[in-house]
Structure 1
C-alpha cells in the first residue's frame, strides 16, 4: 500500500479523524482556568507551545527511541514511513512509494523529491543508506537493530531511489522505518552536542540548554509549511511529577508528559484541561523459571489467575488501561479478544493450581520499579497473592538499576514486574522486547517450540498468515505464562484545552507538528 503524506494537506480534518477524543475539533467555548478559550472549527496560526517532559532531551540518541526525545524527535526529524494508528498500516513520510517483492525478500523505495534538511542540503538515497548502516551497527544501540541486521544488501538507484534486499522476509520492516529518523551524514557528528540537529521536519532545533529546555522554531522552507501552525515549540524539563502538575495547572506550561497516571487523569477532569492518551506499555508479571517452584507452569498460571486486573485498572490507571493477557495493541493484525482475556480473576482456580503443584505456602521477593505506578500495582498484587497463600515483599529499584539487571538477565528475585512498550508489531517485538525474546529473555525461558513460533512471526507475510502465526504464538505464550501482562495501558498526558491537534506515533512518541492554539477570549 502506498499513500502520500499529503493527507495532512488542508487542514484539521485529518487531525480530527485521528484525534477526535483528544482535541474535540468542534466549535466550543471551554473553560481554561480563569479564561474562556474559543475552539473554532479551523486551526489558527501563530504562537508558541510551551510543553514539559520529565527527562532531558538526548540529541545523540535519536536512533534509540530515547524517552528524552519524546516531544522533539518527530518534529525535527522524519522517518521513511509511519504506522497509521487506526489501520495499523504504513503511510509514507519521506518515502513517496515502495514495493515489496512477491517473495518478501527485497524492497524498492522511492523518496520524495521535495525534501531538504534544515542546513539546506537536499535529501538523497545516500542519506537513507547512511542511516540504515548506523542502525545496523550494534555499537549504535539503535532500536530495531535486529531487523536492520536482516537487510543483506542496500544500494542507491540515483538520488531518489534505493533497493533493499533481505536475508528473509521482513514483515517488521515498517517497525524499523518508524524508529529510524533519517540523518544527514554531513552534520551527524554534531548532533550529540545538541548545537546542530539537522533534520528534515517542520521545526528546526534552535537551542538546547541541558537540564532546562530545548527550543524548536518553524522551518520556513518546509515542503508543507502552510500546514504548520505554530511559530515555536518550547520544551521545558521538569523532573518532579508534582511540579509538572502545578506548572500545567498554573498555566506556566500548556502540555505535560511525565506525570503519574492518576494525577493526569484527575487533572484532566478539571475545567480547562484534557487527557491525551498515546502509545502505551504492557506491564508483564515475569518469572525466572530457573527458580523453584516457578519452573512449574502451573505455579506461574496460578499467579496470573490470582491477580485482579480490573482492580489494577480502576485503582492505579484511572480506568484507562485494558485488563489484557496479551502484550499487543488491539489494532494488531490477528488480535484475539478471547486469548487476551485468558487470565481473568479467579482466586479459587489459583489455589487449585498451587495445590496441584504441591505449593502449600510460599514467601518470596518481587522486584519492581520505584515509581508510583509500580508501587500501586504491587500493593494490589501483594494483597491478591496473600489471599491465595503467597507472601510477597517488594524490592523497588531505580530505573537505571532495574534496566541494568534486566540487561544482564539477573533480576535478583524470582518474580518481577516489568514495563515494556507495546508499540512494536509482533514480528518486531519477539526480536526487540527483552521479555519476549526466544533466546536471552530475563525469564531464562526457552524451548524449541517457542523458538519456532517466534520465527514464524518474523517471516509471516499477508494478513492470513500473520493472523495464524500470531494465534499459535499466543496460545503457547499464555500456556507457559512466563511473562504474561497484567494490563496494557496508554501513556497519559495532559494539555490545556487551548492546545489542539496533538497526535502520536506507534511507539508513543508525540507528534506536535500540526498543533495549534485556540485563543483566549
Structure 2
C-alpha cells in the first residue's frame, strides 16, 4: 500500500491532533451526494471472532465500521488527530499520557461512552489470548486514572515511542457485551455502522448508525460478501453483484482502470510488504547461512515485474521510503546473488527438503511461491509447495506452526518504526512466528522502544542497529513493498481508510 511523506514526529507526539481532511476516493467526481443504498464489499476471508484484533480483512471490516479509536493517524502521515479523544498530552519523559474524551458519544445500544470503557478496551487488548499485535505496548500501562468519566490518564512502566500507535489501533469496545463479541453474535461499538448479522462463510451485514456522533452515514448499510476466489470476485464486480473489492490483482486492476465503469484507487499510506518467513526451529532453517542463502537466491525484482506488473519496489527492509528507519544502502543488501547463495549452501552442507506454505485464493500468491521455489532450486535448496486457506494461514501465523518457509504479506511498517518489532507477528522480539529468540535482537528492539522521540538522532542510530539485526539474522526475508489497490464501481464515492487499512465509509455514498 502507498506511503506519503511522514509529518515530523518530534512534537507531534505531545500535542493534540490536527483535523486536516484526508483526500477520499471518488470524492472529486462532481457526483451529487445521494442518500441510501447498501454498499457490497467483496473479499475472501471469513470472520474469526476469537482473533478480532488480529487485523485480518474480515475482522478489520468489523472493527473499522463498528468501532472507533481514541485517536487516528491520517493515511498520509503520523500526525495524530482527534477521534473519541478530543485532545491528549504525552509527558516529556514518555511515562504518562492524559486524554480528554468527547462527552457526546454513545454506544449503539445508547449507553454513554466513559473513560472506564477506554480502560476496559486497553486492558482487554493487552490480554495475549486476544491476538492483538500491539499487546506488548498495551501491557506497559500500569495505572489507569478514570476518576473523571471524560478524561483518562495512563501511566506506563517505561517510555514507549509508539504509545500513540496503540491509541490509533485499539477499538473502544463495550464491557457489557464482551461475550457477544467473543462469539460473533454481536458487536456494540460507537462507530458509523451497527453490526446486524454474520452468516459464516457467506456474509457480514451492517446498518447505518443514524445517531453517530460525527454525523449519520449516507449509506443505509454495508454488506461484506465472502467470495474465496479472486477471479470470481473480479467477475462479480464487473457484473454489478459487488460494488467494491478490498484487493485486486495487478492484471485485473489495469483492466478495470481502463474501463470508465470502474475505478481503481491506491490505498495510500498503508504499505504492504511481501516476505518469506522462516521457522528457525524447522530442519535446515536453524542455520542462519541457509536463511541468508534463501535471501540471496530469490529474484525479487522479477517478482515485482512479472507477478505485480511493476506495482511495487524490491526491498530487503520493510520500511517505506518516508519512514525514519529507511536506509537506502541497507535496503539493497539481498539483491539477487546466486553465486553467494550457492556458496552459503555449500558451507551449510546437506539441507533437507523445505516446505513453502502460501495462501490459496490468489494467483499472485501462487505465482510468487513458484518463482521462489525455482530460485531456491537454482541455488541448491529443494522445496515443496503447501497451499493453505486463509483461516489456516492465520492460525500458523499466530501460533508459529509453519513447517518451514511461508510466503505472505505484512503491514505495520507504516507506523512508528518500533511498532513492527514489538508487535507484528513475524517480527515480535519476544515471541514471533519464526520462533526466533535472540538476545541481541531483543536488546536492539528494547533500546529503540524506550526512545521518546522516534524521529530524533538517538532513534536514527537505534534504527541502524535494528536494521542490521533484521538483515543478519534473516528470519524474515523481505521481497517487495507495494501499494494495495481498491477496485470499485464508478458509482462509489467518498471511500476513505485508516492508517491500519480499515475502511472508513462514514462519508461514502452511491450515485451515478
What is the TM-score with the length of structure 1 in the denominator? 0.85
Task: Tell me how many residue pairs correspond in the alignment.
Answer: 492
Q: Which residue among 396, 405, 422 is the counterpart of 2:412?
A: 422
Q: Hey, what's the Cα distance between the residues in 2 that align with 1:93 and 1:421? A: 22
Task: Note if 1:375 corresponds to 2:366.
Answer: yes
Match of 2:463 in 1: 470
Match of 1:65 in 2: 55
Q: Hey, what's the Cα distance between the residues in 2 that align with 1:213 and 1:475? A: 44
Task: Note if 1:306 corresponds to 2:303.
Answer: no
Task: Note if 1:122 corresponds to 2:112.
Answer: yes
Q: Hey, what's the Cα distance between the residues in 2 that align with 1:290 and 1:198? A: 41
Q: Which residue among 227, 241, 246 is the counterpart of 1:257?
A: 246
Residue 46 (structure 1) shift: 4.0
Task: Note if 1:52 corresponds to 2:73.
Answer: no
CA spacing shift, 1:271–1:310, aligned 2, 3 Å: farther
Match of 1:512 in 2: 505
Structure 1 unaligned residues grouped into runs of 5+:
8-13, 27-38
Secondary structure of the structure 2 residue equivalent to 1:456:
helix
Q: Which residue among 256, 260, 274 is the counterpart of 2:263?
A: 274
Task: Note if 1:397 corresponds to 2:388.
Answer: yes
Residue 44 (structure 1) shift: 4.4
Q: Hey, what's the Cα distance between the residues in 2 that align with 1:208 and 1:284? A: 32
Mean Cα deviation higher: 216-225 or 128-137: 216-225
Secondary structure of the structure 2 residue equivalent to 1:434:
coil
Mean Cα deviation higher: 420-429 or 374-383: 420-429
Contact 2:18-2:80 within 8 A present in 1 as well: no
Match of 1:350 in 2: 341
Secondary structure of the structure 1 residue equivalent to 2:176:
coil
Mean Cα deviation higher: 395-404 or 504-513: 395-404
Match of 1:11 in 2: none
Match of 2:483 in 1: 490
Q: Which residue among 236, 239, 247 is the counterpart of 1:247?
A: 236
CA spacing shift, 1:249–1:5, aligned 2, 3 Å: farther
CA spacing shift, 1:296–1:240, aligned 2, 3 Å: closer
Residue 159 (structure 1) shift: 1.4
Match of 1:163 in 2: 153
Higher Rg: 1
C-alpha offsets along residues 444-478 of structure 1, whole Å, 9 cap, x if unaligned? 44433212101112212211133322122002211
Secondary structure of the structure 2 residue equivalent to 1:487:
strand
Q: Hey, what's the Cα distance between the residues in 2 that align with 1:479 and 1:235? A: 42
Match of 1:384 in 2: 375
Q: Hey, what's the Cα distance between the residues in 2 that align with 1:505 and 1:269? A: 27
Contact 2:126-2:135 within 8 A present in 1 as well: yes
Match of 1:97 in 2: 87
Q: How does 1:405-444 map to 2 (within 5 A)?
A: 405-413=396-404, 415-422=405-412, 425-444=416-435
Structure 2 unaligned residues grouped into runs of 5+:
1-11
Task: Note if 1:218 corresponds to 2:208.
Answer: yes
C-alpha offsets along residues 484-506 of structure 1, whole Å, 9 cap, x if unaligned? 21123333331112212222222
Task: Note if 1:81 corresponds to 2:68.
Answer: no
Q: Hey, what's the Cα distance between the residues in 2 that align with 1:155 and 1:180? A: 18
Q: Hey, what's the Cα distance between the residues in 2 that align with 1:401 and 1:62? A: 16
Please give the root-mean-square deviation of Cα atoms over the aligned residues, in Å: 2.9
Q: Which residue among 452, 464, 475 is the counterpart of 1:461?
A: 452
Q: Hey, what's the Cα distance between the residues in 2 that align with 1:331 and 1:130? A: 34
Task: Note if 1:324 corresponds to 2:324.
Answer: no
Residue 101 (structure 1) shift: 1.1
Secondary structure of the structure 2 residue equivalent to 1:252:
coil
Residue 78 (structure 1) shift: 0.2
Contact 2:18-2:79 within 8 A present in 1 as well: no
C-alpha offsets along residues 40-99 of structure 1, whole Å, 9 cap, x if unaligned? 077444433222232334567543434313334222210011222212232221111111
Mean Cα deviation higher: 285-294 or 77-86: 285-294
Q: Hey, what's the Cα distance between the residues in 2 that align with 1:232 and 1:144? A: 30
CA spacing shift, 1:437–1:126, aligned 2, 3 Å: closer
Q: Which runs of 4+ in 1 moved over 6 A?
A: none
Q: Hey, what's the Cα distance between the residues in 1 that align with 2:224 and 2:277? A: 35
